[in-house]
Structure 1
């Protein structure tokens, strides 16, 4: 990457450029600086999770004993003891309607008891029953605002065989009872154990801990801390015919800057999840690099101290002091100087420059467009007959006043390369074709905010 430099005193002046006299007390001088736009962070990921992985995690977490109940009242003096156990591995598949279909072999072990009084005599009898069942369960997983999975429309589609029995002349239908219990068991098992293996919040927090931590950025003139404020996290999930769970995640936030060191725990919590359509695999980050006017002025003072600017053979300018400020949407540079003339008395003067900061891609520098300037002295170079001499002063300043910020963009590149490969829960992310460019330059009351933007595609690899 070529070395960049910030040249804030490069003026786009040609022989055809007309520069009007700068109105030092006009409305622009009193206008506030423009409002800073948001320094945005955005990430869009399309994560593909094989249903075979989810199936394996469910089988790991699913307990053998599903439920056991004794003394369940069936009516007419009938009671049942029911013990339902897992009797094989669970299977998981996606349907064309976007639901999940679960097959779970179970063993139903129990007995039915009759307890009645007939003619004052207590009659008690019990008949055991045992069945191998293959219930088919369908449901729709939903992502809740707290990142947990919810279960919607869970239903038992079939049991593999009827659950109706004849007992002492009584027709007993166990399906409503077992179905009610089975639905409760499946909801509990899926929520508490198996679906937690697809931990959306862990994936988001892994990413957020990488990009959300406060980072110290020193550009050689000014230093500040950058940290991220998350604003929105949207997730759209779907199940495909090729047995994949697709999680499309969109994360949006703002990069904030402050002078003081943030607290060690200053990592903003993730916002609640919203259900929205999200597309793409891309990453964009804006770093608001700050250069203070005081530091810029001190840099000019040091660099141009004792540096004479030749106006003509008998006349030279000696810069004394620089200062910078915003001038509405533009930036003003003020140079106080001493005019040294051979055989004449030295005089004091002030040179004012104002222009709008903009990035010039050809020179890889910041230029001031729409430049106006004004020279104020009692007599020296103050009349229009000396216009070319005033422009000579301008060009001399242009040549010497340069602020390098190559380290800033190198730092932004290093930040991006540091994050070019990330290991998240279940996935490896690699940034593709990263680009770094200046997205805007904005004067404030105290300095320049230079928005350095990085953008890249994201390659997502399944890496459990």
Structure 2
């Protein structure tokens, strides 16, 4: 009887052992909780140089100079020093043209004067005066430069063209007084030249226009409502090159060195201080524009794509195998955690960890330096070491990727919207093109996976209606 019981127990133990060996193992690995080094605020800055070409037409110079110079230009009330007193008035609009890199100015004038003639002899003064009126054009030439935010000129009189020779009527005869008039006019030649220089400098002071434009452009702009994304322009230094006179205009090369910041979450602080921006003269303004374009993918969307990658896949090693039933992604300390719920020779949820990177070739986010999280790996080494390393892990890793091509295109469109005629205030326009893209980094935030793509291009800020 005892032998029969012992035999029965032996058979039962064998059956149980066989059943145990044939049953799939259930393993419970410790879940790594989400932990984001990047909170809801992400700041990415790129140093760039923005061109601000400033063009001033001859018509603008002419209009401003005419506005500044009007009415009485010069008046000499002392007749005793040279026997001439006169009042010089602008007769007609000033005309400004350019030729061979110089600015030519025709300044029509009217002179109302008195000419005194006579003598002092034997203590007696015998003088008489005659009024004279004279119309003519003073021809000037200016060399233009740019300094301290102002267009400066060195102007000189090259000729005076009278409509008729200066003369006065004495005893019924017209007596030429050219010698006397020219002598008097010689005294105010330098005065007229300085007047023209002052007019151009004062009327074409570009500093207020440029600083107001930069101040307007420096206001942070929201370029993505859904992910609360901001773009900020932060000027650091301003540059200028020499003024070039050609094609009926003066072109001044202006440029700004600035940080271009892409921020996610909180609106960046405006950092521009127009009173502290220095203007430096350089030979050539660098043409280097860089900015981060952000492409977003939610964890739910990315998880769904990766799960589709595993659909129908069976990972085998000899007679052992697993299939992936469910995938979930999240971030932990700048690494991507991939939760894989598997069934087959091993049942349970295991956790991979990898560094997220972006491929410009495939426009996909993929994982680098992938391995099972320590607790998952330790449990697999004890129960299924064939799954913990080697080809199976490599094949699983190949499926842990997802495309963000659509999100990248959307990010490009957001940035292009800013670069395509963005007008923060009337008369100030931002225009540019993105010429190349290259991967920068992938940032894991609590709300989304953010791929920062470094964009290169050309950008200019144009000031109109000066």
Q: Distance in 1 between matches of 2:303 and 2:365?
A: 20
Q: Distance in 1 between matches of 2:213 and 2:327?
A: 53
- Return the match for 2:294 from 289, 300, 304: 289
Higher Rg:
2
Following superposition of structure 1 onto structure 2, how do residues 413-432 of structure 1 map, counting pairs within 5 Å?
413-417=413-417, 419-421=419-421
Q: Distance in 2 between matches of 1:421 and 1:320?
A: 42
Q: 1:439 to 1:128 in 2, by over 3 A?
A: same
Following superposition of structure 1 onto structure 2, how do residues 15-414 of structure 1 map, counting pairs within 5 Å?
39-44=46-51, 50-71=57-78, 74=81, 78=82, 80-96=84-100, 98-112=101-115, 125-145=128-148, 147-151=149-153, 153-160=154-161, 173-193=183-203, 195=204, 199=206, 202=209, 205-206=212-213, 209=216, 211-218=217-224, 223-231=228-236, 232-240=238-246, 242-258=247-263, 259-262=265-268, 269=274, 271-278=277-284, 284-287=289-292, 289=294, 322-326=330-334, 332-335=335-338, 350-354=351-355, 357-361=357-361, 363-368=362-367, 371-374=369-372, 376=374, 377-381=377-381, 386=386, 391-393=391-393, 395-396=395-396, 399=399, 402=402, 404=404, 406-407=406-407, 409-414=409-414
SS in 2 for 1:178: helix
SS in 1 for 2:378: coil
Q: 1:217 to 1:394 in 2, by over 3 A?
A: farther
Alpha-carbon shift at residue 106 of structure 1 (Å): 0.9
Alpha-carbon shift at residue 84 of structure 1 (Å): 0.4
Q: Distance in 1 between matches of 2:419 and 2:355?
A: 39
Q: Distance in 2 between matches of 1:404 and 1:171?
A: 82
Structure having the larger proportion of residues in helix? 2
Q: Distance in 2 between matches of 1:398 and 1:430?
A: 41
Alpha-carbon shift at residue 38 of structure 1 (Å): 5.2
Which residue of the partner structure matches residue 170 of structure 2? none
Alpha-carbon shift at residue 261 of structure 1 (Å): 2.3
Gaps of 5+ in 1: 1-35, 327-331
* TM-score (normalised: structure 1): 0.64
Q: Distance in 2 between matches of 1:234 and 1:366?
A: 42
Q: 1:368 to 1:176 in 2, by over 3 A?
A: farther
Gaps of 5+ in 2: 1-42, 168-174
* TM-score (normalised: structure 2): 0.64
The answer as to whether partners of 1:46 and 1:279 remain within 8 angstroms in 2 is no
Alpha-carbon shift at residue 420 of structure 1 (Å): 2.3
Q: 1:144 to 1:137 in 2, by over 3 A?
A: same
Q: Distance in 2 between matches of 1:310 and 1:375?
A: 22
Q: Distance in 2 between matches of 1:81 and 1:374?
A: 100
SS in 2 for 1:213: coil
Q: 1:396 to 1:249 in 2, by over 3 A?
A: same
Q: Structure 1 residues 42-51 or 178-187, which shifts more?
A: 42-51
> What's the RMSD between the two structures over aligned residues?
5.2
Q: RCO (CA 8 Å, sep 6+): is it higher in 1 or 2?
A: 1
Aligned length: 398
